[in-house]
Amino acid sequence: MKSGQSVGFLQRKGVLGFLFTVPADAILLLLLAYPFVLGIWLSFTNTIIGRTGSFVGLENYIDLFHSDVFWLTAFNTVVYTVGAVFFKLILGLGLAILLNRDFKGKGLMRAIVLLPWIVPTALSTIAFWWIFDSNFSCISWLFMKLGIMHAPINFLGSTVNARISVIIVNIWRGIPFFTIGLLAGLQTINHTLYEAADIDGATPWIKFKSITLPLLMPLLSVITTFSIIWTFADFQLIWIMTRGGPDNATHIFGTFSFQRAIAGGHLGEGAAISAFIFPVLFICVLITSKYLKREN
């Protein structure tokens, strides 16, 4: 009798479904929502490591608005994100179109393209650190051997070079995501559309512009948004390569926040910096979901 009742309760609409989602909800609450809310709270306090702070209102934010390094960081973050995502998109799309063609060994090539994505970023970035070393860089060595240059390039020592270098590494690491994602999208496009276009007299460029791109657009916008989010909130690549230097030229929100909060101990200020990541990402997601709704 008792067990009969409990079955009835479980079978009530929504109850069982809710119970099934509880573990996942709990993990999300514990590991995402709690730190997020805690971060927001900390940004309104003057907490430093080892001492509970007190509520200071918007003081941390006002201080940041008067800090040159903060504005430089904001500028760097935008340059880093726009530069890297733009080239990842162009090169990733190009590579996807190439790999979508029929040729010998395309399976192997597709696997190779995935490598930068599979190798842990910390590991591959260390390799790039060596490639961009001021004394032992293999690129500098090659150019000097070829007689093109007489002194090694100061990749990570000058502000402009350092920015370009970290962007290049980010592009290298991020291309596979675009390529594999877009390749999957390309394969869903019915090939008879291209044949119909052949008969209609379309050139390869017109086929790309009038068929491939419009049909790839929904996927392209989702992939681009994801990439913007990840690039904007990047941390480990830059921390390993430059720690935000030289002269704060490669600091982005993630690294700057870490430096202030953990390395510098100012948890409140660090939390305030990282809070700036959130609205930008929120807008990104909003724009994409709006666009996708319209497409449907």
Partner 1 sequence: MAEVLLEHVGKKFGKVVAVDDFNLTIYHDEFMVFVGPSGCGKTTTLRMIAGLEEITSGDIAIEGRRVNNVPPKDRDIAMVFQNYALYPHMTVYQNMAFGLKLKKVAQQEIDKRVRQTAEMLGILGLLKRKPKELSGGQRQRVALGRAIVRIPKVYLFDEPLSNLDAKLRVQMRLELKKLHKKMGTTSIYVTHDQIEAMTMGDRIAVMKDGRIQQVGEPLQIYMHPINRFVASFIGSPTMNFLDVHVVKKGEGYHVESKGFSLPVPEEKKRAIAPYEGKEVILGVRPEDLSEGGENRGAGTLKAHVEVVQPVGNQIYVDVKVGAHNLLAAVPPQSLVKTMEEMALNPRLDNLHYFDPKSELAIA
Binding site for partner 1 (CB under 8 A): 190, 192-193, 195-202, 206, 210-211, 214-215
Report whether 113 contacts 180 (CB < 8 A): yes
In the complex, what is the shortest distance from the CB of residue 196 to partner 1, in angstroms, rounded to a whole number?
A: 4
Give the helix, strand, coil percentages of the chain, each rounded to 5: 75, 0, 25
Report whether 161 contacts 171 (CB < 8 A): no
In the complex, what is the shortest distance from the CB of residue 210 to partner 1, in angstroms, rounded to a whole number?
A: 7
39/29 Cα distance (integer angstroms): 14
Give every CB contact of residue 149 below 8 A, 6+ residues apart in sequence.
140, 143
Which C-beta is closer to partner 1: that of 74 or that of 93?
Answer: 93
DSSP symbol at 250: T
9/34 Cα distance (integer angstroms): 31
In the complex, what is the shortest distance from the CB of residue 197 to partner 1, in angstroms, rounded to a whole number?
A: 8
In the complex, what is the shortest distance from the CB of residue 206 to partner 1, in angstroms, rounded to a whole number?
A: 7
Which C-beta is closer to partner 1: that of 214 or that of 264?
Answer: 214
Which C-beta is closer to partner 1: that of 105 or that of 201?
Answer: 201
Report whether 261 contacts 271 (CB < 8 A): yes
Pure H helices in 100-246: 106-118, 121-131, 138-145, 159-187, 191-200, 204-207, 213-232, 236-241
Map residue 45 onto helix, strand or coil. strand
In the complex, what is the shortest distance from the CB of residue 198 to partner 1, in angstroms, rounded to a whole number?
A: 5
Which C-beta is closer to partner 1: that of 82 or that of 193?
Answer: 193
Closest CA to 296 of 190, 221, 205: 221
In the complex, what is the shortest distance from the CB of residue 203 to partner 1, in angstroms, rounded to a whole number?
A: 8
Which C-beta is closer to partner 1: that of 35 or that of 214?
Answer: 214
Which C-beta is closer to partner 1: that of 215 or that of 280?
Answer: 215
In the complex, what is the shortest distance from the CB of residue 256 to partner 1, in angstroms, rounded to a whole number?
A: 43
Report whether 175 contacts 92 (CB < 8 A): yes
Residue with tokens 């994409």: 288
Which C-beta is closer to partner 1: that of 138 or that of 184?
Answer: 184
Map residue 218 onto helix, strand or coil. helix
